[in-house]
Amino acid sequence: MSDIQGWGQGEDDDLLFADEDAPDPSSANSGTVAAPWKLLIVDDDPEVHAITRVVLNDVSFDGRRLQFLSAHSGGEARAILNDHPDIAAVLLDVVMETEDAGLRLVHHIREVLGNRRVRIILRTGQPGQAPERQVIVSYDINDYKAKSELTAQKLFTTTVAALRSYQHIDAIERNRQGLETIVDAAGTLFEQRSMDRFALGVVERVAALLPRATGAFLCAVPPGPNPEDSNPEDSNPEGPGPGGRFREAVVLCGTGVFAEATGRPVGAVLPEAACADIAAALARGRSLHRDDHSVALFQTQSPGPGALFIGGHGGLPEVERRLLEIFCSRMSVGFDNVSLYEQLRLAQIATVHALGKLAEYKDEVTGEHVRRIGRWATAIARELQARGTCGGDADDRFCELIGLASMLHDVGKVAIPDQILRKPGKLDPEEITQMREHATIGGRILRDASGPVGGRSYLSMGAEIAESHHEKFDGTGYPQGLAGEAIPLSGRIVAVADVYDALLHRRPYKEAWELAAVVDLIRAESGRHFDPRVVDAFVAVLERGGPEA
């Protein structure tokens, strides 16, 4: 069923479908609860190790027993502490290889390892070497015992108190770290404008939030009847059930063991019962947690990203479940923002395209000329940016804006009388003068429009292009007869793109030219009609197959 390594092998039988009302059998954090507390005994006297183990052997706190680690010197203890950052408490002798080996270890733990969670109980046989009053104030320890006073009962009490403190601090610390991960995710992910990258970021961040998970993925909710219409109680892991539809759902992006799953159907990635869990979570409208995996949901206003599947976590404690909920609720806002932004961008492109095309409505219905100009202008601009031949003029913002701006190059034509625009034959000098006004008029229309937007926008760049796309590099163009770099770069780019596209395609007044003839003409006009650097960039784009669609 599943071919993702570490996933789904023989697990189908263990994953039974949860009854809606029955308690979730995996609610208890069995995975976490089973792990013992690690207690490090540091003492140069082997007998102390033996006695300590005997006395504390049957200690159990919050359902977890003790695992003893032993070090016989400060040096040995450092190595063990390095390998076990999750040691709960240290029972620490003072005098070992040196008279203050224990006290030095305290400093090492707190300052060098930066471990402020582990509880340190100092127990000394020679209180003279480490006077209690001075040591308790000067060292970051949590209890001080003279071995002489340390009865079995007292050792038991101080150990349990240490475990309790450790448990508490560890829980808040993990919570704090989880919140930091979320805050961090909110900071960097919310800069994303693309849904794909945002979604991948979300999956990567959930892996950072739940580090024990072996992988996570997002899947789109497949179209079909509302999952609430299907009754999870009727489901049968053997039959198609509600999980059936979700086997067809596609993985949008994944990490860890699911890193290669992107684009594949969920059914090829998860065992059937886990697919059913995704369906069940969506049907209930809330997260679902199992012993080994969880399904979390996003509450988005816009059509949502579907479900988040987290695998191989070995049981999520309450703290992490809550963090996961907070994470998903914050990320929901992010999905809505990216979706709104994409929606706005789509509408913007469509509107600008409609605006550019409107002026050509009379001789070209499809508006493909306008769209192609946008793509060519962008490709030439990016090529100039990569070559650096136009200095700072072709910056990122320039390349972003020129696609929309260039679509508007001919809007001024709307003011030209039909009998001139549609005239089949040659225009007389009076008509040519009138026709040429479209450049100035287009500039005025777009400059008026750009006013309230402020700054550098595709409307202000569109005005610049409308005004200057009939100027020629040698100064023989119109309306102003500008030459060289006095013509805005945007206008020099659109001049090439416009002539190229106009010649290559049929118009009411002319046939389509052959590509080779068009390119020959553009090359011949390099330095006359066109800026040579723009022609070079154009040829480079053409030679690699034209702009991307």
Which residues form the catalytic set? 413
Choice between 48 and 182, CB closer to its own copies: 182
The letter for the amino acid at 165 is S
Q: Of 141 and 275, which has the nearer Cβ to its own copies?
A: 141
CA-CA distance, 276 to 270, in Å (whole number)?
A: 10
Nearer to its own copies, 27 or 188 (CB): 188
Nearest to its own copies of 425, 452 (CB atom)? 452
Q: Least separation, in Å, of the C-beta of 352 and its own copies? A: 6
User: Can you tell me the distance from the alpha carbon of 308 to that of 198, in angstroms, rounded to the nearest whole number?
Assistant: 13
* Closest distance of CB 311 from its own copies, Å: 25
Q: Please give the structure tokens belonging to residue 112.
A: 């060098």
Please identify, using beta-carbon distances, which residue of 116 and 544 lies nearer to its own copies: 116
Closer residue to its own copies in complex, CB, 127/244:
127
| 419 CA to centre of own chain | 55
Closer to its own copies by CB, 116 or 528: give it: 116
Q: In angstroms, give the least distance from the CB of 21 to its own copies.
A: 28
Beta bridge partners of 133: none
Q: Residues with Cβ < 8 Å from 399, sequence gap 6 or more? A: 378, 381, 382, 385
Distance CA 387, CA 395 (A): 12
Nearer to its own copies, 84 or 456 (CB): 456
Q: How far is the CB of 355 from its own copies (least distance, A)?
A: 4
In this complex, which beta carbon is closest to its own copies, that of residue 281 or of residue 416?
Answer: 416
Least distance to its own copies from the beta carbon of 477, Å? 24
DSSP 510: B
The Cα angle at residue 321 between residues 318 and 327, in degrees rounded to 5: 145
Tell me how far, at minimum, the Cβ of 268 lies from its own copies, in Å.
29
- DSSP secondary structure letters along 56-82: HTT-EETTEEEEEEEESSHHHHHHHHH
Report the C-alpha gap between 102 and 91 in whole angstroms.
Answer: 10
Query: Which letter does DSSP use for residue 76 in this model?
Result: H
Dig out the tokens for 396 from the structure. Answer: 């990122």
Distance CA 91, CA 108 (A): 15
Shortest Cβ 220–its own copies spacing (Å)? 15
C-alpha to C-alpha distances, 397 to 347, 349, 381, 456, nearest whole angstrom: 20, 16, 11, 9
DSSP 8-state code for residue 497: H
Kind of pairing between the strands at 37-42 and 119-124: unpaired
Q: How far is the first Cα of the chain from the last one, in angstroms, to the nearest whole number?
A: 38
Closest approach, Cβ 195 to its own copies, in A, equals 13
Half-sphere exposure of residue 347: CA atoms within 13 angstroms, side-chain side: 6
Identity of the residue numbered 422? R
With CA atoms as reference, report the closest residue to 67 among 78, 51, 56, 75: 56
Q: How far apart, in Å, are the Cα atoms of 293 and each of 2, 212, 332?
A: 15, 11, 21
CB atoms within 10 A of CB 356: 24
Provide the minimum distance between the beta carbon of 267 and its own copies in the complex, in angstroms, as a whole number: 27
Using CA atoms, how far apart are residues 142 and 165, in angstroms rounded to an integer? 10
Element (H, E) at 518: helix 515-524
Residue 59 main-chain phi, psi, to 5 deg: -70, 135
Question: Distance between CA atoms of 145 and 102, rounded to whole angstroms?
Answer: 13
